[in-house]
Amino acid sequence: MGASIAAAVSSAGHEVIGVASGRSLATIDRAREAQMTLVETLEEAISRVDVVLSICPPEAALDVAHEVQATGYDGIYVDGNAISPETAAAIGKLFDNNFVDGGIVGPPAWRAGATRFYLSGAMAKDVVVLFADSLVTARAISGGAGAASAVKMCYAAYTKGSSALVLAIRALAEDNGVTETLLAEWDISQKGMRDSSERSALGTSPKAWRFAGEMREIAATFNAAGLPNGFHLAAAEIYERMAHFKNDDPARLEQVIEALLPKR
Amino acid sequence: MGASIAAAVSSAGHEVIGVASGRSLATIDRAREAQMTLVETLEEAISRVDVVLSICPPEAALDVAHEVQATGYDGIYVDGNAISPETAAAIGKLFDNNFVDGGIVGPPAWRAGATRFYLSGAMAKDVVVLFADSLVTARAISGGAGAASAVKMCYAAYTKGSSALVLAIRALAEDNGVTETLLAEWDISQKGMRDSSERSALGTSPKAWRFAGEMREIAATFNAAGLPNGFHLAAAEIYERMAHFKNDDPARLEQVIEALLPKR
C-alpha cells in the first residue's frame, strides 16, 4: 500500500522521501519504482519534509510515531494505518493540531477510482491537496482525529471479518465431514458462497500475517464502544494461523483449511 | 418452524399429535392451524406415535429428549433443533439406533422448495418418507448422527453470524459518528451492504431471543473442532441485547442500534 500512496503523491508533483535504513531490499525496490527519493536515516528525511506519512503494519504505528516525534519534527503527521480511534488519539497527542488521522479503503492504488484515503483532523484538507489528480481519492471528513480510523475499522470489520468467518466455516464443515452437503445447500440458498470462500483463501492468504494486528485494533474499537469484541479476536486467530503463507503464492482453500485445523 | 413441519407431515397423510400442556395459546392456535391433534400430556402423545419429532429452542433440546426417554418411549426420535453435533450425540445416546439427527435450513416451510430438512443416522430414511410430496424437502445424508446438526451449524454460522456482525458494525459506526461516511463508502465498494444491514435488523429482531442459544451451540461446535469460538459468542451477545424485540413488530435498524449500544 505504501508504495502506491507514495507514487500518487509523487504523480501530484511532490517529492517523496523515504528512509532506507532497516528496510528489506524488496521494500527498497518498491520505493524506487514508486519514484521515492531514499535517504539513509529518519533524521535526514525529517529535515527535508513538510508532511510525514506513516504507512506500516498497525502494531508498529505507535512506535513509528514516537520515533518521528523524538526527532523534534514539527510539521504535519499523517497516520494512514489500520488502527483504532484510541490508538490514533494516542498518536495524535504527540503532534497536537498537526496530526491528521487517515484510513485507507480499497486495494493498493494502481488504478483510478479504486482507493480512497479518508482524512480527519484540523489539517486534513492540507493533506488532501497532496493527492490532487492522482490515482488516490483523498477525502477530508468531519469528526476530528479518530474519525478516519473509525471508518477504516468499520469497513475492514466486515470485509476481513467476514472473510475470516467464511474460512473458519469451511474448516468447520471439513472437520465435521459435511463439506459436500454444505456446498450443495449453499448452491441452492446462498449462491456465491462456494466461490467466495475459495476467493477468500486466495485473496487473504498472502496478507494474513498483517491482518491479525488489524483485527486486534478492530476488536479494541468494538470494546471501546461497549460492543462484543469476539468476532475480531476470532478473526485475528484465524489470520494468525495463516501467517506462514506470507511471501508464498496465494494459498488454495484446501491449504488454508489444513492450516486452520489443529493437527489430529 | 414446528407448525410448518407438522403441517408438512400431516399433508403427507400422517396423523400428527402435539402436547398442549405448558404451551401458550398462540402455540396451540398455530398447532391447530397446522392440522395437529392436541392431547393434554406427553405420556398420552407418546402412547400414540411411532416417531417423535423435537423442534424447540436449542437450549431446551436436551431436556425435551430426557422427558421423552423418561416415558419409556422406544420408537424413532428425531431431533430437528439447531444444536451442536456434541449435543446431538448426547441426545442420541438416549435413543441408540432409534435416534435420527436433523437440521432444518431455510424459512418455515409454507412454500415448496424453500426448506430442507437434513437427516442423518441409521433410521434417517424412515423419517424422509414422512415428508413425501410435502412442502418440506427431506434429505438423508451420510455421516451418522451429528452430521445433520453439523450442516445446520455451518449454515447458520454464516447467515446468522454475519447478520450479527453487520448489525454490530452499524452500531460501531454510529458510536464513532461515522455512519454517513461508511454508508457512502459501502455504496461505492460494497454495494448492497446498506440495504442488507437494514434488512438484517428487520429480519432478525423478532427472532433474536432464540438465536442467542443457537449461536452458543455454534460456538461449541467451533470449539470442538479446535477453531476459535469468538465469532459466535459475540453474535450470541448481540442477539441477547435484542431479545426484548420478541413478539414486537420487526425493529428498524435505528432501534436495533439503540439496543446494542450501552447507554451513555
pLDDT band with cut points at 50, 70 and 90 for residue B45: very high
Chain B residues with beta carbon closer than 8 angstroms to that of A237: 228, 230
DSSP H/E element including A87: helix A85-95
Q: Do A231 and B226 touch (CB under 8 A)?
A: no
pLDDT band with cut points at 50, 70 and 90 for residue B247: confident
CB nearest A260 (choices: B147, B181, B227): B227
How many angstroms separate the CA of residue A159 from the nearest CA in chain B? 9
CB nearest A154 (choices: B118, B169, B238): B169
Q: List residues bridging with A79 in a β-sheet.
A: A54, A101
How many angstroms separate the CA of residue B145 from the nearest CA in chain A? 11
Q: Do B234 and A237 touch (CB under 8 A)?
A: no
Residue A39 sits at φ, ψ, to 5 deg, of -120, 165
pLDDT of A198 > 90? The answer is yes
pLDDT of B60 > 80? The answer is yes
Residues shown for chain B:
264
Q: Are strands A99-105 and A115-120 parallel, antiparallel or unpaired?
A: antiparallel
pLDDT of B23 > 90? The answer is no
Please give the residue of chain B at the shortest CA–CA distance from A150.
B176
pLDDT at residue A37 in the model: 95
pLDDT of A201 > 90? The answer is yes
What percent of chain B has a predicted confidence (pLDDT) above 90?
Answer: 92
Record: fold of A151-260 = N-(1-d-carboxylethyl)-l-norvaline Dehydrogenase; domain 2 (1.10.1040)
CB nearest B168 (choices: A181, A228, A234): A228
- Averaged pLDDT of chain A: 96
Q: Do B235 and A235 touch (CB under 8 A)?
A: no
pLDDT at residue A54 in the model: 97
Give the homologous superfamily in CATH for domain B2-143: NAD(P)-binding Rossmann-like Domain (3.40.50.720)
pLDDT digits (tens, 9 = 90+) for B120-132: 999 999 999 999 9
Q: How far is residue A257's CA from residue A172's CA, in Å, rounded to a whole number?
A: 9
pLDDT of A170 > 90? The answer is yes
How many angstroms separate the CA of residue A160 from the nearest CA in chain B? 12
User: Rounded mean pLDDT of A76-102?
Assistant: 98
Record: fold of A2-145 = Rossmann fold (3.40.50)
Q: How far is residue A177's CA from residue B151's CA, in Å, rounded to a whole number?
A: 9
Rg of chain B taking only CA atoms, in angstroms? 20
Of B227, B239, B264, which to mutate for an interface test with A (greatest number of A Cβ within 10 Å)?
Answer: B227
pLDDT digits (tens, 9 = 90+) for A113-142: 999 999 999 999 999 999 999 999 999 999
Q: Do A155 and B85 touch (CB under 8 A)?
A: no
Chain B residues with beta carbon closer than 8 angstroms to that of A161: 165
User: Rounded mean pLDDT of A1-13?
Assistant: 94
CB nearest B151 (choices: A161, A178, A228): A178
Outline where B12-84 has alpha helix (H). 25-33, 42-46, 61-70
Q: Where are the beta strands (DSSP E) in B48-94?
A: 51-54, 76-79
DSSP H/E element including A31: helix A25-33
The ranges assigned to domains in chain A are 2-145, 151-260
Q: Please state, in angstroms and as integers, the Cα–Cα distance from residue B221 to each residue in A76, A210, B217, B245, following that order.
A: 50, 27, 6, 27
Q: Do A175 and B225 touch (CB under 8 A)?
A: yes
pLDDT at residue A247 in the model: 85
**Cβ pair A31, A10 in contact under 8 A:** no
Is residue B186 helix, strand or coil? helix
Q: Do B181 and A225 touch (CB under 8 A)?
A: no
**Cβ pair B229, B219 in contact under 8 A:** yes
- Same CATH topology for A2-145 and A151-260: the answer is no
Q: How far is residue A54's CA from residue B152's CA, in Å, rounded to a whole number?
A: 45
Whether complex ipTM tops 0.90: yes
Is residue B227 helix, strand or coil? coil
Q: Do A154 and B172 touch (CB under 8 A)?
A: yes
Q: Please state, in angstroms and as integers, the Cα–Cα distance from residue B230 to each residue in A139, A161, B50, B144, following that order.
A: 34, 12, 40, 28
Residues shown for chain A:
264
Buried b (16+ CB within 10 A) or exposed e, A70-86: eeebeebbbbbbbbbbe
- Residue located via cell numbers 522521501: A17
Q: Please state, in angstroms and as integers, the Cα–Cα distance from residue A176 to each residue in A133, A170, A180, B10, B149, following that order.
A: 53, 10, 11, 33, 10
Q: List residues bridging with B262 in a β-sheet.
A: none
Q: How far is residue A19's CA from residue A64's CA, in Å, rounded to a whole number?
A: 12
Residue B22 sits at φ, ψ, to 5 deg, of 80, 0
pLDDT digits (tens, 9 = 90+) for B133-143: 999 999 999 99
pLDDT at residue B264 in the model: 65
pLDDT at residue A22 in the model: 86
Q: Do B178 and A260 touch (CB under 8 A)?
A: no
Please give the residue of chain B at the shortest CA–CA distance from A257.
B227
pLDDT of A264 > 70? The answer is no
Q: How far is residue B208's CA from residue B164's CA, in Å, rounded to a whole number?
A: 10
